[in-house]
Every structure is written in C-alpha cells, then in structure tokens.
A and B are shown apart, each in its own frame.
Chain A
C-alpha cells in the first residue's frame, strides 16, 4: 500500500516541483517589487553602450543584459538610485545616462530653450512699446468723414473675415 502511494505520488510531486521552479530566465527580476520597480525605472534612463540610441530596458544586446544585472545587484545591496547612476558614470562616462550632466559645458543645452523664449518675449515687448505710440485723436472733420464712410454699406462688410465677430 505504502509502496503504491510512493509510486503514484512521486511522479506528481516531481512534476509539481519542476513546474514550481521557474526555468532559468536571462533576466532575474529582484524579489522585492519596490526594488525591482526602481531598477526598471533606472533601465529606461541608461543607454546600452554598444547599441545605437537604445535604453538597456529595451535592448536585447548581451551587454545590456550585463548592465541590467549589475544595476539589480547594486540595488539589492542597498545602493540608492544616485549611487547607481554615479557608479555607472564612473565606469562608462556621462554617455551612459540619457540625462545629460549639468555643468558649464552643457548650460547652453539645458537653459538655451528657455533663454530663447525669454529673449524673444523681451524683443516682442520692446517692439510693441516702440509701436505703442498712439495715433493722435481724430479731428472733428475726420470724425465726420469716418461716420460717412461707415454709413456706406459696401465698405462695412469684409467678405473675407472669419473672426468670431463677423456676420454681426
């Protein structure tokens, strides 16, 4: 009886064991989901150093896999995101991060767009000030002529206007 039980149970158990044990995946996610989420977020900002413009999150290259493993190991050993980034930059250079560094050589890159907007707004304000000189008020004769012109039906209509006030 006992022997029969073993005969029946053993294969089932073996099957369950193999099913329960995940097959070796190229990427082993961290057990801690919070840590894994941090790792995934970092992967998106790290460039695969042998690929063209690809993040290691997307790249199938072997090096990208190694870099993912490295980052996971560092996170598992308690490194902060900043420490991981610093370590990557130490190993591979600034090139490895999709966020360019902020230093004297990249100020133009980071602040150029906003400086351009500020400059353009400044120019516009300066020009509108220059233009803002109001024309002198109309003399009574001119007012009279304007009234006459406005009475002329043909001139009042602008056939090509699409402003919200047309057709009124």
Chain B
C-alpha cells in the first residue's frame, strides 16, 4: 500500500508543479495577486507531496518491504537502521527523489519569501515550477522508486557496503541541498531577465535577494563535498582524499561557480555593477549542478562512484539540461545587452579585486570542466582515448588558484570605487613578512626539502594572516584603545566575520593540503604477528588478528600498536578491519586511524598472505601530516558562509541596522 501511496504523492507533486508554473506565470501576465498566490500555494503543495513520497520510500526501506524493487535492490534485513534509511537515497531512483525533494522544498521557501516585488517573485516561482515539473516528470515516467516486484524476494540485495558509512549516509542530503539550492538562484536570474528592469535601483536589491540562496547552497555544498572527501579518505583505504575523479569534479564545478557567484553578487548588491555577470553565474551554478547529475547518472563517465544506469535515462537528463540551460542562456543572450552597467569603478578597487576573483574562479571552473569532458569529446571526435588525472590539474588548476590566492587578502582591504593599493600593501606587510618567514622555515626545517610544499605553506600562512590582518585593520588594533578595539570588533557585521572565517578556512585547508601532499610517507609490508612496519616517524606493530562478526558482515580485525620510531612519545592501539559482506559478496576495508595532533597515522589491513602455519597480513601504513586541517578548513569555510547568512542585511524585509555614529 505504502508504495502506491508514494507513487500517487509523486504524481500529485508533478501535477502541482505544473500548476505552480501555469498559475504563477498567468498571475504574472495578468498582474493578478490571486493567481500568483495560488501558484505559491501550489509550490508549497508540491513540496509537501514530494515530502510524503520521500517519507513513503523511507518507510518502505525501514520496514524492509522487498515487494518494492528499489528496496529489494538496495536493502537487506540485516542492515543497521541508519543504513536502511540511507538506502533510500543510495540508488539512482531514490537519489533523484531526494533531488526533487530539495528542489521543491527550496521552491516552497521561495514561494514564502517576503519582500520580493510582485513580478519578480511570480516569475521566479514559475521558473522554479518549470524546473520541478521537468525533474518530477523524469522521476515519475522513467525513474520511479515505487515499482513493485512480483513475487517479492525474501531477502534484498543490500546496499553497496562501501556506502554503509555514517559520513556517506548524510553526504548525499548535504550535497544535494547544495547542488539543488542553486536552482533558486537560477530561477531568480531567469525572473530578473524576464522582468528586465533597466532601473539601476533594481540590481542592488536583486543582488541582496539572490545572495542568501547562494550562500546557503554554497555552504551546504561545501559540507557535502567535504563529507564525501572524508569518506573517500577513510573508507576507500587509499590514503588520499581527492583524486580528481570525474564525479568529484562534477561536484566541484558548481562549488567554484557558486563561490564566484557569492563574490560577484556582493558587487551587484553594493554597487549595482556586474549585474549581467552575476546573472550569468547564477545560471551557470545550477547548470553545472545539472551537468553533474547528467555525468554521474548517464554512464558516460567511468568513475569510482558513478551510478550504473542505462543510457536512455542519460539522454533524458541531457534533454532536460539542454532545454533548461539552453532556454535560460538564450534569454540571457537576448536580455543581457539591455542590462545597465551600474556604478563605475577604478581598476584598483574592491570591485576590481572581486572581478579578478571571479576571473580566476571561473577559469578554474572552466579548467575542471575541460579536464572532465575533454576525454569524452576527444574520443567522440577522433577515437583517441586519454586520461586526465591529478598531474593535469596540478599543472593548470593549481597555478591559477595560486595567483588568485596571492591577490586575495588585498581585496577586502581595498575601498569601493577607488582603492589605495599602496595602503593595502602596507597594512599587509606584516602578514606578508610572516608568511615568507613561514615558507623559509618550512623549507629549512622539514626533511626532505621541498620548495613547492614550502611555498604552499607560505601561501596558507598568507591567507590566514591576511584574513586576520583585515580584522585587525577594521578594529584599529594597536592604534586605538583596547576599549575602542573591542567596541569595533563587536560592531563588525556578521557578514564581515563570515568573510574572514571563510578566507581563514581556505588558508587552513591549503596548509593541510600542501603539507599532506608534500610530506606524507607510506609503506606496505606483509606482517606476521609481532612484526612491524615504519613510515615517516611512526612504527606500527601487528599485535593480534581475530575474526569479528558485525551485524551484516564478517571481519578480520587487526589490533596494531602505533608508536614513534624514536620511542619518544606514547604508544596507541588502533584497530583496522577487512570486512566481508556475504549479502553482496564484497570486501571493504575499515581504516585504523590514530589521530596525532594534526597528523593522521593511517593503517589499512590488507589481504592474508603467507602460509597457513605462518599467517601474515599485508599492512599498509600512511603517515599523513596535518591531514586534520584538510577537513577542518572547509568546515570553517562553511561556518563562515553560515555566519554571513545570519547577517541582518541579508534577511529579506529587514532594513539595515541603524548605526550610532562615533
């Protein structure tokens, strides 16, 4: 019964989404608040209906209803409850339903947003409804998760054991909330192009309306990508955290476009400038999201985590992508020349710095796009097969970002309209000096000597110190009385703190990434009980191996002692497992992680080697220095996004706080 209920709710959601589009558009054309209001009501109804459908699917998973083919294919009675629930979005059909849920819930939130002018809101609700209709139609007609199986199997095929992990259970909801959140920016951009306001007063207000959605989506996407990366780090057991895998790239492109959008929307909000460019980025961010969905689900990519799907669905997704992005960009090409330029600014100014930021972020996104699609295009065009992997991105993406990072700390110190470059450089002199010292120390002190890694350390320090220097400058640190400094710090808007945190988090991430990449050490050896293997400053001894039984797996669990090779420091015991899941016949590794300050000592139990009389196990040991910062940095960045989101000025309908003048 519950599956039929879900299927009905999904069909209802499709009908409501179509109604939403029609009513909101009619309301806009006839200038009828009643019709537009009905469109908004339909948007809320669609969100509710998809939520019911999603609830029904989760219910089917929780109760292990194997008469539903999606449950039979992805669940198992032995699975822990968390993974039964997470199984609901572990397949193509389920995750598409999650996509639709986020799309319609954001659409409902858009329908409830206050303070937007009538025409813009009605158009945006109609555009969001059109997106919802297309994706819901795709779900209903080709990818319904509620198809029944007859006869129902007694047992399910279980979820891929690699996906049975807490980080991965919440990774897709976060990731999708980010991906699909950009749909509201897309709809607002389409609406702005339709409304085509030529008044200069319109664009700052539009910038203010689009920013909260962009911020929320970007922060959620940051969390989602980081969780996925962390999962890859400790679940795959390869010791790495980013592989420039096409699917990773697919999530990274909207992130880069979203980051560019955040920055350019600030210029549009404050100065009314770059309006056309901001609209373009708003369209681009969600287009990249849809492109990612197509790449992951169509099977055109070979990737570790592409969904196995048939090309027909890929073709449908390509059609949706072509229709929506094609229509939106055509509208853009038609209307963009009519957009007013807005405030003028000198090349050296806050606006100028943000233009450079956008230039490099967009070029970086284009690089990722090129690296991801080029093998496909080249093979289609000439039949030649190539691989684009980490060395390519190290040679193209990394230098582009490095240039952007050199410029970054100066941006917030420049005034709007016309900045004082010399003044900004003077204020950053201390930060620059300390960063250079950090780089030189890293080069001199760490063995083996690595110039690139040392320069990277300097870069990370530059970003962190630069962000702090900007706060110090605003607070008049060392120049005003401490009471005055405190008063100024308290008076800083949350948005300013958000920016500082985000930039600081980026620096923290860079530090972790370059130190981990530059100085990590690894070793692999077949160990009998009592034997040791060393990597970097750590020695790991295999103490004991036993067989343990999990809820739905059998595991060989190794207990290992991690101690410093020079014996100065405490020893810790870690357990690492090699799990066998009988339901799917798959084997996974459960990494043993010993957190040592900022470093990880990372131990992987491999296959059994040696003779039955003298069993041995291949143990892989990684020393990943400063790996903690790789995941801490993005968390700080997401927190920065959240803080900015809480800023009064971004709340629609709330006026700027009146300041008491000093």
**Which A residues are within 8 Å of any B CB, using their own CB?**
18-19, 22-27, 29, 40, 44-45, 47, 52-55, 57-58, 60, 93-101, 105-106, 108-110, 112-114, 116-117, 120-121, 124, 128, 131, 157, 159-165, 167
Contacts and interface: CB of A to CB of B under 8 A. Distances in A.
Given A98-B391, A106-B374, A164-B474, 14 more contacts: A22-B526, A45-B391, A52-B304, A55-B389, A93-B385, A94-B386, A95-B387, A109-B392, A113-B364, A114-B396, A114-B400, A128-B347, A157-B661, A163-B350
Interface string B388-420: 111110011100100000000000110110000
A23 to B, nearest CB: 3
A165 B429 CA distance: 19
A95 B376 CA distance: 12
B495 A97 contact: no
Contacts of B360: 117
B231 to A, nearest CB: 15
Which 7 pairs between the two chains have the least Cβ-Cβ distance? A98-B389, A23-B610, A25-B526, A58-B238, A113-B367, A23-B616, A99-B391
A47 B244 CA distance: 13
A167 B522 CA distance: 54
B344 interface: yes
B526 A53 contact: no
B386 A101 contact: yes
A23 B542 CA distance: 15
Given A94-B387, A109-B371, A159 B659 contact: yes
Given A53-B304, A105-B378, A109-B374, A116 B350 contact: no
Interface residues of B, number: 70
Contacts of A121: 359
A18 B246 CA distance: 46
Given A109-B370, A113-B397, A113-B400, A54 B415 contact: no
Nearest to B524: A27
Contact of A95 (B385, B525, B614): B385
Nearest to A128: B347
29 contacts: A22-B525, A23-B610, A25-B525, A26-B609, A29-B524, A40-B522, A45-B389, A45-B391, A52-B304, A53-B246, A94-B387, A95-B387, A98-B388, A99-B389, A99-B392, A101-B386, A106-B386, A109-B370, A109-B374, A109-B378, A110-B392, A112-B367, A120-B363, A121-B359, A161-B416, A162-B493, A162-B496, A163-B350, A164-B415
Contacts of B350: 163
A84 B656 CA distance: 65
A163 B416 contact: yes
Contacts of A110: 392, 395-396
B614 A47 contact: no
B388 A164 contact: no
A54 B386 CA distance: 14
A140 B104 CA distance: 60
B452 interface: no
A55 B611 CA distance: 29
Contacts of A94: 384-387
Interface string B487-531: 010000101100000000000000000000000001011101000
A25 B525 CA distance: 7
A57 B522 CA distance: 11
Contacts of A47: 387, 389
B366 A116 contact: yes
B455 interface: no
B382 A105 contact: yes
A19 B531 CA distance: 9
Contacts of A23: 526, 528, 609-611, 614, 616
Contacts of A120: 359, 362-363
Given A53-B302, A113-B363, A98 B528 contact: no
A120 B243 CA distance: 29
Contacts of B390: 44-45, 98
B618 interface: yes
Contacts of B344: 131
A90 B415 CA distance: 58
A47 B618 CA distance: 22
Q: Which of B302, B382, B397, B658 counts the most A-chain CB atoms under 10 A from its CB? A: B302
Contacts of B347: 128
